[in-house]
Structure 1
Amino acid sequence: MGVADDEARGIPYDALKAFEGRAAAESGIGKDPVNAPMIRHWCEAMGDTHPAYAGADPIAPPTMMQAWTMGGLSGREGRSDAYDELFALLDGAGYTSVVATDCEQEYARALRPGDEITFDAVIESVSERKTTKLGTGHFVTTRMDIRAGGELAGTHRLRILKYAPARRKPKGRRPRPVINRDNAGFWEGVAAHRLLIQRCVGCAEPRFPWLPGCNACGSPDWDTVEASGEGTVYSYVVMHHPPFPAFDPPYAVGLIELAEGVRIVSNVIGVPYDKVRIGMPVRLAFLRVDEELELPLFRALDDAAGGEG
């Protein structure tokens, strides 16, 4: 265990188990009814063009279900005292960091514009003390029942890890990408300093990341086109924490929209992380990480970077 792990104190498991079954949120009310503008923004961000989510009588994408319950920057919406007490207990014992680990959703009915959203949540389980690569802590699972007009629309389970960060290890090797028969051609292209995009033979739709079949027409036949390397920052995040071996936060990770119409996630370089902006023009670059690994990155153009980098 690291320094922070050493400072974390054990909590009697009975004290944590006592929170199971208690409310995490009570009588929550969605800040907005389901509405077409938010559906459109979601679909644009996700690149989802399914016709069911547009037109005169759209439905909301099922995976958008939790979005209607979020309190936003204004703070907690319906969160219970029990949930705050559990977090205070874990914080007080040294488990001050948090990361979402996974979620599960079940859908009971479609959500349509005009639906008024209400929700309740329960602390479903708190794990025994676990040691992970991030550090030592406890997994907390909450279950949220989401209703539209009083009718169950779906269930959302979220699992987080409240943990004490492990000591940073010396900078090590960058994690290796998973290469399989579906994406081997992409990495062969990277090795040759070519960014290859799949193109469906059936409908000519470009796609990225690489997939075994076309998500537009279903055809399994495809060829490739080489990207010009020109693009813009469609969206981005700045990674501050948690630190991992071989990475040196803070750094910017961008969703890059290529000139060919597809998007790729990669680092934005050539400009300080706090100067990255949506719409910034970028150009493909290749970075040799070590003797075995080379990665495609995107460098801000000189005029966008203000001459820096």
Structure 2
Amino acid sequence: MSADRVTGADPADLYAVLKGFEGRPAAVAGVGKDPVNEPMIRHWCEAMGDTGAAYRGPGAIAPPTMLQAWTMGGLSGHTGRSQAYDELLALLDGAGYTSVVATDCEQEYERDLRPGDRITFDAVIESVSARKTTTLGTGYFVTTRTDVRAQGEPAGTHRFRILKYAPAARRGGDDRAKRPRPVVNRDNAGFWDGVAEHKLLIQRCAGCGTLRFPWLPGCGRCGAQEWDPVEVSGAGTVFSYVVMHRPVFPAFDPPYAVALIELAEGVRMVGNVVGVPYGEVRIGMPVRAEFVRVDGEWELPVFRPADGGRGGRG
């Protein structure tokens, strides 16, 4: 079934065609554009605020969660990429599922990656879900699995899942689509419990005292699994930011600023900057956390300029 024949197709017929893509390659004999290298490891650790000793100095390894980074093709893509994945997305576009959002990923690790390792990989379209209705709209979850090798040895597996969907239509009046809800699990439930009480909570390792965010089950510095919640002041500065224009989600009014905030306690947190035009957000701008009620149901932390929008650098 070609893309020009799927518009208005019966969902069962479309799903049967989509299922036919399962098991087809998305990339064959892909080659990482750069070997594992210290500058990229350093940039990653700085961006993530990860000060783990294992990622510095002689004998350093790459953070395991960088697994996908070494396979990225950049704007020019990879020569090993197959046509199957593009054909699958084109079919969904033709059926009206024109928007896409990354939803989650899963990784498994088999060996440490060290500077100098050459990365090769193969990717396969692992699964296409039945049609699902979500807050964003109705569509299909598509999962690809990438098997990564270092120096020819198995290094890990990366599963990446997207939702290809038709955006939910806005209804009339002031009744807007609801914001997507955060994923709350056993590792981060304490953070959201604190937000509900207008408290900004991070974790403090009971082993070495390191403060950390986001919430994790173990310490990245010493490996200890015991920790205490710590309420922070909410004061911080804009470490970096982006202005979102696309894609347009029904519950959002672009353009708007999303920032990486460096809190006074040293950890970093992502959040919207409110109370100032998006074009006036600046790196170094002092901000302070506050809490807003979303959809009349749940609380969300945001950041407002602490000095009325002055300060920072362009």
* TM-score bracket, shorter-length normalisation: 0.7 to 0.9
Query: Would you say the 8 A contact 2:191–2:201 is kept in 1?
Result: no
Residues 113 and 198 of structure 1, relative CA distance in 2, 3 Å threshold:
closer
The Cα offsets for residues 37-67 of structure 1, whole Å up to 9 and x where unpaired, read as 1111111111222211111111111111110
1:271-308 CA distances to partner (integer Å, 9 max, x unpaired)? 3224434x2312215355378866553233433489xx
For residue 150 of structure 1, what is the aligned residue in structure 2? 152
C-alpha contact (below 8 Å) 1:286/1:294 kept by paired residues? no
- Report the counterpart of residue 140 of structure 1 in structure 2: 142
What is the match of residue 3 of structure 1? none
Preserved contact between residue 32 and residue 119 of structure 2 (Cα < 8 Å): yes
SS at 1:141's partner residue?
Answer: strand
Contact 2:110/2:155, CA 8 A, preserved across alignment:
yes
The equivalent residue for 2:59 is: 57
Aligned residue number for residue 262 of structure 2:
257
SS in 2 for 1:94: coil
- Which secondary structure does the structure 1 equivalent of 2:92 belong to? helix
The structure-2 alpha-carbon separation of the partners of 1:272 and 1:76, relative to structure 1 and needing over 3 Å to count, comes to farther
Aligned residues: 294
Q: Residue in 1 aligned with 2:101?
A: 99
Q: 1:116 aligns with which of 106, 115, 118?
A: 118
Do 1:9 and 1:93's aligned partners in 2 also have CA atoms closer than 8 Å?
Answer: yes
**3-state SS of the aligned residue for 1:168?**
coil
Tell me, in whole angstroms, the C-alpha distance in 2 between the residues paired with 1:124 and 1:130. 17
Which residue is equivalent to 1:88?
90
- Asked if the contact 1:145–1:156 (Cα under 8 Å) also holds between the matched residues in 2, the reply is yes
Q: How does 1:153-232 map to 2 (within 5 A)?
A: 153-169=155-171, 170-171=175-176, 182-183=190-191, 186-187=194-195, 190=198, 205-208=210-213, 218=224, 222=228, 224=230, 227=233, 229-232=234-237
1:204 is displaced (CA, Å) by: 5.1
Q: Cα–Cα, structure 1 residues 83 and 198, in superposed 2: closer, same or farther, change >3 Å?
A: closer
Corresponding residue SS for 1:298: strand
User: Which of 291, 298, 303 is the aligned partner of 2:310?
Assistant: 303
Other structure's SS at 1:289 match: strand
Question: What one-letter code is carried by the residue in structure 1 that aligns with 2:117?
Answer: D
Partner AA of 2:240 in structure 1:
S
User: For 2:85, what is the secondary structure of its paired residue?
Assistant: helix
Pair 116,9 (structure 1): closer, same or farther in 2 beyond 3 Å: same
Which whole-Å CA distance do the structure 2 matches of 1:157 and 1:197 have between them?
28
For 1:269, the aligned partner's letter is V
AA partner of residue 282 (structure 1):
P
> Matches of 2:74 and 2:253 in 1, distance apart?
29
Aligned-residue RMSD, C-alpha: 3.5
> In the alignment, which residue of structure 1 is the partner of 2:72?
70
Alpha-carbon separation, structure 2, partners of 1:280 and 1:166 = 37
The gaps in structure 2 that reach 5 residues or longer are 1-6
Runs of 5+ consecutive residues of structure 1 not aligned to the other structure: 1-6
Give how far 1:18 is off. 2.2
Deviations along 1:69-91, one digit per CA (max 9) or x if unpaired, are 10112334522112111111111
Secondary structure in structure 1 of the residue aligned to 2:113: coil
**Which residue number in structure 2 is paired with residue 4 of structure 1?**
none
Compute the displacement of 1:253 (Å).
2.1
| Alpha carbons of structure 1 residues 117 and 189: separation in structure 2 relative to 1, 3 Å | same
C-alpha deviation, 1:189, in angstroms:
6.7
1:8/1:95 contact within 8 Å kept: no
Q: Is the 8 A contact 2:18 2:88 kept in 1?
A: yes
Deviation, 1:264, is 2.6
